[in-house]
Amino acid sequence: MARYALTDIHGCIRTLKALVQQLGLQKTDELYILGDLVNKGPDSKGVIDFILDLQQHHQVRCLRGNHDQMLLKAAKKGEKALSLTATEKKLVLQSFGIESFEDLPKKYKSFLKQLPYYFELPDYFLVHASFDFTQADIFQNKKAMLNIRDYKVAWGKINNKRLLHGHTPTALHSIKKNVCHRDARLNLDAGCVYYRNASFGNLVALNLDTQQLYVQPNIDRPYPVARKS
């Protein structure tokens, strides 16, 4: 059995499929996706559809990211709930074949609603952004788990397990360096959707046991997306 983790797909379905093909998933393998399945990229619907199909044959578990949460809120409150450009909003609507976010089909709302905020494994904590370690109970602050960036780990609060997350786009060379050094805290967000940035534009997966890093450059390009500053 192998265990893999990846994160921050952002609607890049072709890139996701190519990375999963690299992994060669077996039925006994486990794949953990750490959130931000949707928004910004070209095919948010396609990403969820592919994951739902994978779950029929493989052990695939997904976390909630801040963009998954935003899309869920937009389905209730409209586009004002989305921190996206007009072009990015249009990409999401076109992906689902809808005119407004309130028309998001029930199938996708149900999927987003059931996404948990973190996973605890025997040797890892998996979360989208991280935890607010200043709080007595770090598992109560859902907003932090989706959005936090600047924090200092209090290792005792996660039982000295390794911490794996995404959320903050990071240059591929930095991710490779951190994996090579077997850092206790790893960020796997290689900025897949930002293909116009030389440092980003990759989707990566980590074998949690062997520490092998799989890299898939973005093959969904071209599509209109703002450069990450």
Mean pLDDT within 49-77: 98
Across the chain, mean pLDDT equals 97
Tally of domains in the chain: 1
pLDDT at 226 (0 to 100): 76
User: Is 129 part of any domain?
Assistant: yes
Give the pLDDT band (50/70/90) at residue 79: very high
Phi, psi of 120 (to 5 degrees): -115, 120
Answer whether residue 68 shows pLDDT above 80: yes
User: Is 226 part of any domain?
Assistant: no
User: Is 229 part of any domain?
Assistant: no
User: Is 190 part of any domain?
Assistant: yes
Strand order in the sheet with 213-217: 59-62, 30-33, 3-6, 202-207, 213-217
For the chain, the straight-line distance linking the first and the last C-alpha, in angstroms and rounded, comes to: 39
User: Is 61 part of any domain?
Assistant: yes
Taking the C-alpha atoms of residue 165 and residue 175, their distance in angstroms, rounded to an integer, is 12
**Host domain of residue 60:** 3-217
Residue 175 amino acid letter: I
Mean pLDDT within 31-52: 98
User: Is 223 part of any domain?
Assistant: no
User: Is 222 part of any domain?
Assistant: no
Answer whether residue 227 shows pLDDT above 90: no
pLDDT at 225 (0 to 100): 84
User: Is 225 part of any domain?
Assistant: no
CATH number for the domain including 44? 3.60.21.10
Mean pLDDT within 97-120: 98
